[in-house]
Copies of this chain bind each other. A is one copy, B any other.
Amino acid sequence: MAGSDIKYTDGGVCAPNGFRAAGTACGIKGTKEKKDLALIVSDVMCSAAAVYTTNKVKGAPLKVTKDNIADGRAIAIICNSGNANTCAPNGEALAGKTCELTAESLGVKAQDIVVCSTGVIGQELSIEPFREGIPELTAGLSYEGSAEAAEAIMTTDTVPKEVAVEFTIDGRLCRIGGIAKGSGMINPNMATMLSFITTDVCISPDVLDRVLKEDVKTSYNQICVDGDTSTNDMTVILANGMAGNDIIDGDGEALDVFRRALSQVTVYLAKRLARDGEGATKLIECRVKGAADDEQARAISKSVIASDLLKAAMFGADANWGRVLCAIGYAPGEFSTENVDVDMSSSAGTVEVCRGSRHKEYSEEEASKILSEEEIIISVDMHQGSGSGVAWGCDLTYDYVKINGDYRS
């Protein structure tokens, strides 16, 4: 019987039964000090699904991965950081070779490998570091290896992102785990940045694919750091069935529980990605209600957190609701902006700044105190329906400029 609380747990991508992971420094980043190669392996074959960037410029690994999981099956994920293998010579051949080396090392088929890369665009990537790195990685595989893998996929991230949840389906204990990386070049569209999700739930490839595509609409697609949709964004999920539940191959309570648990994982990671945006000092969440429908609410919330002017105002702890309204007004879609309410809140309290699209008296001092916290919530009521949505972003700071004026990425 499905239905249970969903609780956070340890272990990241290794929390679900039957997944090992590892991370190593193989030299792509130019130093043995920085991990740059990650591996996640299931004990048994998995149902697999992925969503990819909609940028027309796609990293070579995306094409190879898409081919490999066309049959809905995969057993491992190999990922390097430091070089995106995008707009680089022989990219697809190299990504293919990476799969072969990994498959050989694991004793599996190359077509069952998911391959990813993240880092600088346009620089040639050599296969040499992989030749030594992959065996090293395989030798280091562990059921406690998630943290290493999370570290090895980082580029300008300041912290690794990792989470896991547990819940029950049919009385069986199930888990979903995930790691992610992002930071700059974050404005996912129809895809995500790099995120690897594992689960021991038994689920068919078709349903898994459907659930993932649906999920990203309210998680990864609702974050923005700087409006640049990357060339390499990808979210991959592997489900190995080792929890032993009856296979989920259609709608029902089991699927509902799985959806909610997956959402808890992806939303957690999405928020961490937004909070760790390049140069960010604050997580900004925009909650919209009262829109015509949920899709409209999501579009509005995303427009707000993506606005450079709003992001800069948040950096300055300035309750500039005019910029919020401006961003609402240029969100795609046809809707009224005549009766909009805006509140701004944090752990330090709430300030009501706009009612009916007009100024509401508030204390600048109070507002400044509230907006000086690290997590800000901008609440918007559009008063024209029951649609709701949430989006996450971060403030625009001097450090964003510094990082991106200097970092060849």
Interface residues of A (CB under 8 A from B): 54-58, 84, 86-89, 120-124, 184-185, 187, 189, 226-231, 306-309, 312-313, 315-316, 318, 320-323, 325-330, 334-337, 354, 357-359, 396-398, 400-406, 408-409
Contact = CB atoms under 8 A, between A and B. Distances in A.
Contact of A184 (B309, B400, B409): B309
A190 to B, nearest CB: 11
B121 A322 contact: yes
Most buried by B among A55, A89, A120: A55
A315 B401 CA distance: 8
B55 A326 contact: yes
Contacts of A315: 401, 405
A318 B408 contact: yes
23 contacts: A54-B330, A55-B326, A57-B325, A57-B357, A58-B329, A87-B325, A87-B357, A121-B323, A122-B354, A184-B309, A187-B330, A226-B308, A228-B307, A228-B327, A228-B330, A312-B400, A312-B405, A315-B401, A320-B408, A396-B404, A398-B401, A398-B402, A400-B401
State how many copies of this chain the complex holds. Answer: 2
A58 B357 CA distance: 11
A157 to B, nearest CB: 16
Contacts of A185: 309, 323, 326
Most buried by B among A56, A226, A409: A56
A88 B189 CA distance: 35
Contact of A308 (B87, B123, B308): B308
A330 to B, nearest CB: 4
Contacts of A57: 325-326, 328-329, 337, 357
A229 B329 CA distance: 9
Contacts of A404: 308-309, 312-313, 316, 396
Contacts of A120: 322
A148 B354 CA distance: 35
A326 B193 CA distance: 14
Nearest to A353: B122
Contacts of A397: 401
B326 A359 contact: no
